[in-house]
Structure 1
Amino acid sequence: MSRSIRVLHVDDDDALLDLTKTMLEREHDDIVVETEPDVEVALSQLDADTRFDCIVSDYDMPRMDGLTFLSAVQERHLDLPFILFTGKGSEEIASRAISAGVTEYLQKGGGTDRYLVLANRIENAVDKHRAERERRRNRERYQALIEYSSDSVAILDEEGVFEYVSPSAEQILGYRPEVLLDRNSFEFVHPEDRETVELAFQRCLDDPDVRPSTTYRFEHGDGSWRVLESRATNRRDDPAVEGFVVNTRDVTKQHEAEQRLKEERELFDAALDALPDTFYVSHPDGTAWRWNQTLKDLMGYTEQEMRELPPEAFFAEEDHEKIESVIQRVHDGETVVYEARVLTKSGEKIPKRISATLLTDDDGEPLALCGIGVDTDFRPENLD
């Protein structure tokens, strides 16, 4: 259902007011016209009632002409569409009207068709005004939301230039928002990461449905390099945004913790790989999870094969019953030391003395089985 359009028509000619009201409301069902022959009374109406959608005014009126009336309306900070509908037409008046900021300039006369033109002008002007007002409101709501966000929120143009930066940018990026405006965002990205960031931005530019998330180094206002994580959304077609919305958070501490963990893991793996004995960690059901290089070299399987094989596949068939028993005893809480024949991919059976124990979480739930295998001088026939 379309919304009604409330029009205030101001003209010192009562007969014309009545005719215009009749014709406009006949031409357009949604137009409702209120008439006023006195300009000062009209201003009082505008002060008391802010629900008008459009003003139609004559130019030549006593005490105040149409452009002076427009100026008085503008002083009240009313941005209503203002149509100058006058019988006194000239290029000079038209030029002055345009300079003053009238929405439309239309001369009276020309029969009833003129009222059809006026009705169309009113409808178009109001539709445009409402769309612009809604766009402004949406942008204000959007800005109010992002200004209280803990993440830095920026709007970039298609070249990556900052058009808007939220206040939280100072805490995260180290720059006051106004310092970043009109600067290209890519110039702050570490040279080694710039290509990755630009490619992610280009994907977002090419396809609005793509919302890339990128981690990269950014030059902080204090000169240090911070690790940031940004997610971009293409909102160029949204009248309230008309750009790329980029949400950014500082993940430097997280990145440093992950790096330390990675380094510790690499050191741990290197230490295990240096062991002359075999070491393994398996899932609670006995399937392989992690192992050292010594075990991998001994078994001869690929990484993928090691992960996919059942636990009994690593042992000679005659030891399968023993392995099942060991797994059960370990789950019961024992640390079991046993001897068994390891079966390599080539079919060789190699005697090993193996220890196995259960790793649990804080609640006592099983996490993994782990153990170490050492060479032994026992003879295989002693295991039968």
Structure 2
Amino acid sequence: MKEQLYNKKAHDAKSFQLQAEQIKQLYRNAPLGLIASPINAAVLAIVLRNVVPSQALIPWLACIFLVTIFRLLLLQRYRQVLSTSVEAGKWGTWFTLGAGLSGVTWGSAGIFLFPATSIAHQTFIAFVLGGMAAGAAATYAVVTPAFLAYAVPALFPIIVRFFAVGGEIHTAMAVMLLLFAILIIIVGRQVNSVTLLSLRMRLKNIGLIADLISSVTTAEKLNRELSEHRTHLSELVDERTVELMKEIDERKRAEAEMRRTAERFQSLIENGLDMITVLDPDGKILYESPSIERLLGYNDTELTGMNIFEFLHPEDQDAAVEALAKVTGKSGKTENVEVRIKHKNGTWRLLDAAGKSYVDDTGEVKVIVNSRDVTDRRNMEDSLRRVQKLESLGVFAGGLAHDLNNVLVGVMANIDIALMSPELEEQTRRRLEQAMKSSDRARDLTNRLATFSKGGEPVKKILSIGHLIKNSSDVALSGASVSCEVAVPENLCPVEADEGQIAQVINNILINAVQAMPRGGVVRIKCENMPAGSDDASDIQEKRHVKITIEDQGPGIPVEHLDRIFDPYFTTK
């Protein structure tokens, strides 16, 4: 009975001590929230000043500052008073009350500061309240009631308000905010669990240290008593004690060195650029280093127990099976193989993997694989080869343009001389003039070849892209069994571009479309203004631009040709 009572008291003491540590952590995190609260409130008030009456905005802002001052005074008082384990509950209650007042005040913004006419400002309020709740998950979740007292009243009023407004957008925003609130609460519970586990471990370590100190003190006392009662053995005891101390010191040094070595290896594995994987002989994943999240998007335990071949590209599995068989067949042998492995987002990443087998302390064969992502390097190598190829093509195009120009100069000069003759027949003159026009077009082509060979810049000017598209489509589709639907809005912005190059691009695409639909069909051309920041063109996404979409009903471009569609003069004809 006494033993049960003692165990209950010890458990209660540990609970009070854990609670005190939680409250200390809570007050230690509090300054971040107290600083952010008035600053964010001031920013929100500035943004809403033109859409919310000052009769509502100023009192709300004053309440924020009053609640913040109250919480600052509470924090200062806590720091002045040395809180004991018994008093921790009281200080936790006060903090929860302050957090609740702050959450209610922030939540009232979703009711009293809600601009009914501006969805942008409504969205901004939701963004600010969501940010404050997310911050509370990081700072207050160490004590769940304090976190809930802040997050619930801060988020749920605006969720209710969005539901009350109704409509597709407001209902969607309400659902998203509700989902966000649920996720934030779940995250808060997880943060609370991790924090409690950390505090319990720290308290346990403190207790172990105290027990160790007590044990050492008791041992020293026993040694002194033994020395007093057995003086005739003092020399032997002293000698043995010295030996034991040396052994203890050596053992401590060895243990410390082992810990440092383990920490170094753990740090290398966790922070290294390469991915470390441990497999069994069948390819089952036994361990993944944390770097897998950076390389492939999975966390380090997500793939444990699964087979590595499930994630390899089908074309690379035979090579991987062969390399694994060689490694497991001969201990200590290292095999290198390049394989494509599926990223969590569905894309394929190219890894340079080196595997080596070893036998663990249980006698089982394991394979440790060191993998490095070489996708970007391989892409750069491919790009370099493409650039070198284009440079060679440019040299050839320059020479060809020069030779053609020399020929055209002679041809055009002779045509000019022939046209000067007054005795020419009218039909002959017309044919010579047509030949001169054809020579002009040929000279324009040679100039473009020369521009390509020198890497010249396009001649840009402001032009109406819609007018150019209509003219190009009329010319390219003339006489074809293909109809064209052009959608050009009246407010289409003018663009800065090389008119000849753009016309040539559109003309070539339309000719390809006609050739792809020998039995006829419809080509649809659509133009639209795109704002800055849109995701359709990464090289100009920071500027406003015009997007041109050309769609035909042909079979499409084969996959094996997609990488070469931008190579100059590439054709499958």
Question: If the length of structure 2 is used for normalisation, what is the TM-score?
Answer: 0.23
1 or 2 for the larger relative contact order (CA 8 Å, sep ≥6)? Answer: 1
Structure richer in helix, relative to its length: 2
